Amino acid sequence: MSEQKSIQAVEDEIVDEFSLFDSWDDKYEYIIDLGKKLPPLDEQYKKDENKVRGCQSTVWLVADYRDGKIFFKAESDAVIVKGLISMLIRVLSGHSPEEILEAKLGFIQQIGMTTHLAQTRSNGLLSMVKQMKNFALAYKLKNETATKS
């Protein structure tokens, strides 16, 4: 297994990939393609408690904690949102709670998705990031409590 890339390294990769696109249509084609390729979430996870609040579409997000790292899985009924989640998973999944909490996620703005999508609650990108960071915070606090006791 190759060495795990840092969050920043993956962010930089995504920014590089997006720099190749000339138009917004091309960017969206790519995001839609990512969305279509995101593996479906097992039906058992598609329940209310896994829903991300604040999205116009339905987004389910689950987190697994293994060997000090968080692994995310998610799905949405809207394909562009699915593409965006796919990128967030690529950047954040497989990292420690501390790394996830510290992630700046500047790539979202650099690829132009902030002005485009994230400002209103309809998009849900910010809600997804918040939810992922909440998971990280929860696991971090859990670890600290475990160490203390």
Partner 1 sequence: MMKTAIKSNTLDVYAIRRQFPILNRKVKDNALVYFDNAATSQKPQAVIDALVHYYSYYNANIHRGIHTLAEEATAAFEESRTAAQQFINASSREEIVFTRGTTEGINLVAATWGRQNIKAGDEIIVSNMEHHSNIVPWQVLCEEKGAILKVIPINEDGELLLDDYEKLLSTNTKLVSVVHASNALGTVNPVKKIIDLAHATGAVVLIDGAQSSVHLDIDVQALNCDFFVFSSHKIYGPTGVGVFFGKKNLLESMPVYQGGGEMIKEVNFEKTIFNDLPYKYEAGTPNIGDTIAFKTALDFVKNIGKEKIRKHEEMLLDYATEQLENLPGLKIVGKAKEKVSVISFVIDKIHPQDLGILLDNRGIAVRTGHHCAQPLMDRFCIPGTTRASFAMYNTKEEIDTLVVGLEKAIKMLA
Nearest 5°: phi and psi at 15?
-60, -40
For partner 1, the closer CB: 15 or 80: 80
Indicate the residue among 57 and 143 with the shorter CB distance to partner 1: 57
Q: How far is the CB of 117 from partner 1 (least distance, A)?
A: 7
- Residues lying near partner 1 in the complex (CB under 8 A) are found at 24-25, 28-29, 32, 56-58, 77-81, 116-117, 122
Task: List Cβ neighbours of 1 (8 Å cut-off, separation of 6 or more).
Answer: none
- At 142, the amino acid letter reads K
Exactly one of 55, 84, 111, 117 is catalytic; which is it? 55
> Going by C-beta distance under 8 Å and a sequence separation of 6 or more, which residues neighbour residue 84?
31, 35, 113, 117, 125, 128
**Residue 80 C-beta: closest distance to partner 1, Å:** 5
- 63 catalytically annotated: no
Q: Which is nearer to partner 1, 29 or 102 (CB)?
A: 29
At closest approach, how far in Å is the CB of 25 from partner 1?
7
* Distance of alpha carbon 74 from alpha carbon 25, whole angstroms: 25
d(Cα 54, Cα 7) in Å, to the nearest integer?
A: 25
Q: Which residues are catalytic, by number?
A: 55
